[in-house]
Amino acid sequence: MGQTPNKKPGKNISLKRPFISLPRYEKASMKPDNSPAKMRRTLYLATQNEHKVEEFQAMLGYAWDVRSASQLGLETGQKISWDETGDSFVANSRIKALALRHITPCAVLADDSGLVVDALNGAPGIYSSRYAGSPEGTPRAAADAANTEKLLNDLQEVPDSKRTARFVCCLVFIDERGEETVVEGYCEGRIAKSPSGHHGFGYDPVFFVPSHNRTMAELSEAEKNRLSHRAEAVAKLTRHWRPLA
């Protein structure tokens, strides 16, 4: 599959779209129960990756009970799947968010993230999670290692000054009313010559953050949650949230 160039982003986007028509739940009551036991809102995250669930839970805090797509499947008895056929981070995020929203009236959040490397014309980009072409069903840790190895091989002849890169995170949030909000967050850095650190996942061990003089995998969870592309996107998202009426 050919790579879709991912140019360095310009201005951050933050927009709201009209209510999404969801006939199955159009008559459902969205009035919150404000009793102490019901103050938390359930949020289904369009991922099977429990690392992401933990990361988003830490960033969103107690107000949200963040659950995975796998958990939604267990709770509803439905098979949940999607095909990431979009040509951008936004398109893929929306595909995943709608896959969940058609099953539950609860709030849903989809994250499409990737690594954009300037020397590779934006690759891996939207193909970041399957950059090395690992077969479906490959354990996450093994696929991450294969992707990282391919990235380092592709950059073998590229000097440090040309290894600039950024993590991009696009979030599509659909609330209990069906209103959609889209935001993007970025984290600038460069690709190290070899992996370092044991925290995080994906490309974290080779993503060097100049401001901290460490790779993302060498940062503590608290540090990462303050400066990561997801942290920036979540901060933007929460500024656009409004309480249920």
* Positions marked catalytic: 112
Give the C-alpha distances (Å, rounded to integers) separating 38 from 31, 95, 133, 177, 223. Answer: 12, 29, 44, 18, 31
Cis peptide before 139 (omega within 30 of 0): no
Structure tokens at 69: 């797509």
Query: Comparing C-alpha atoms, which of 233, 141, 235, 148 is closest to residue 195?
Result: 148
Q: Determine the Cα–Cα distance for residues 82 and 111; give it in Å rounded to an integer.
A: 13
Tokens coding 226: 């303050």
Rounded Cα distance between 6 and 4, Å, is: 6
Distance CA 44, CA 156 (A): 40
Q: Are 210 and 163 in contact (CB under 8 A)?
A: no
Name the phi and psi angles at 20, rounded to 5: -90, 130
Query: Virtual CA dihedral for 48, 149, 200, 98, nearest 10 degrees?
Result: -30
SS3 81: coil
The torsion of the CA quartet 245, 66, 108, 186, rounded to 10 degrees, works out to: 110
